[in-house]
Amino acid sequence: MTPAEEARDLELMPRAVRDKLDRVRIKLHLKDWSALTLAERARLRDLPCSSEEDVRGYAAAVEALVLRLTGKPAEKIP
């Protein structure tokens, strides 16, 4: 995949990322997704999120990114 194709694919949040966010019960707003670098978006797409350890690691990664972007804790989904 070329860099231009990857950028286009990651312009909107991929279904795989939305599913992972549901699994870790964190809301990531589209404006926050858009503020992430391409590398950060790819990382969220590619990080595993299946085992309990993966889920904890994925949640920590998302929480750190949201805190850096917004200065606030990530919004949890009840």
Q: Report the sign of the C-alpha dihedral through residues 49, 17, 37, 26, in that order.
A: negative
Give the three-class secondary structure for 72. Answer: coil
Contact at 8 Å (CB) between 77 and 27?
yes
pLDDT for position 7: 84
- Which pLDDT tens digit goes with each residue over 6-29? 888 899 999 999 999 999 999 999
Confidence band for 36, pLDDT divided at 50, 70 and 90: very high
